[in-house]
Amino acid sequence: MAVVRQAATLLMILGLTLLGPVACTGSAPATKPAPTPPQIRAPAMAAPSHLPQSARRLLRQRMHRHGEAMNELMWAILYLDYERAEALGAEIAQEPRLARPLLRDATELNSMLPEAFFIAQDALAQQAAQVAAVAPDQDAKALSEAAGGLIDACLSCHAAYLRPPAQP
């Protein structure tokens, strides 16, 4: 998990390095609204070969809106828009989750997803709630730490999606 945390930290540093000069070119009064985040399209994620098309379709539909919400949350965090970070963190934490399969049979679509996906899904909700919990304190360091935990959960889920589960 330390490697994931280091990768998350590097991603945040890269984002701040590239966007810091743009975002920090002056000090705005506290009454001014946060800058509008740039419209950046994320590249399409590779399709994993270990999941059937039906499972990928299920996730694609669900993850499109989730990706937009996560993008908005990351910008709110980077711009220290605490109010928006709190609202988005709470919204993401409360999103309906895919249910764990009751049985591991072919008739249940969720049974095609690895257990690691469900573990990461739960961690994402917990970490998003943590972002929402620390945002009202307006403590940039605490918000950064909560965002790091959220990125850890994201990377764990993406790894579960992209890599086939280990065979026993």
| 3-state SS record for 55-97 | HHHHHHHHHHHHHHHHHHHHHHHHCCCHHHHHHHHHHHHCCCC
CB within 8 A of 122, min separation 6: which ones?
97
d(CA 132, CA 153): 15
| Of 97, 92, 96, the residue nearest 147 (C-alpha) | 92
- For residue 34, the model assigns a pLDDT of 58
CB 125 within 8 A of CB 93: yes
Residue 11 pLDDT: 53
Instruction: Extract the tokens encoding 19.
Output: 């966007």
Which long-range contacts link 81-86 to residues 24+ away (Cβ below 8 Å)?
81/34, 82/135, 82/136, 82/138, 82/143, 83/135, 84/34, 85/131, 85/132, 85/135, 85/143, 86/131, 86/132, 86/135, 86/136
What is the mean pLDDT, run by run of 10 residues, along the chain of 168 residues?
A: 50 48 47 61 72 78 83 95 97 90 68 85 96 98 96 89 72
CATH match of 51-168 with 3.40.50.620: no
Q: Coil, strand or helix: which one is 50?
A: coil
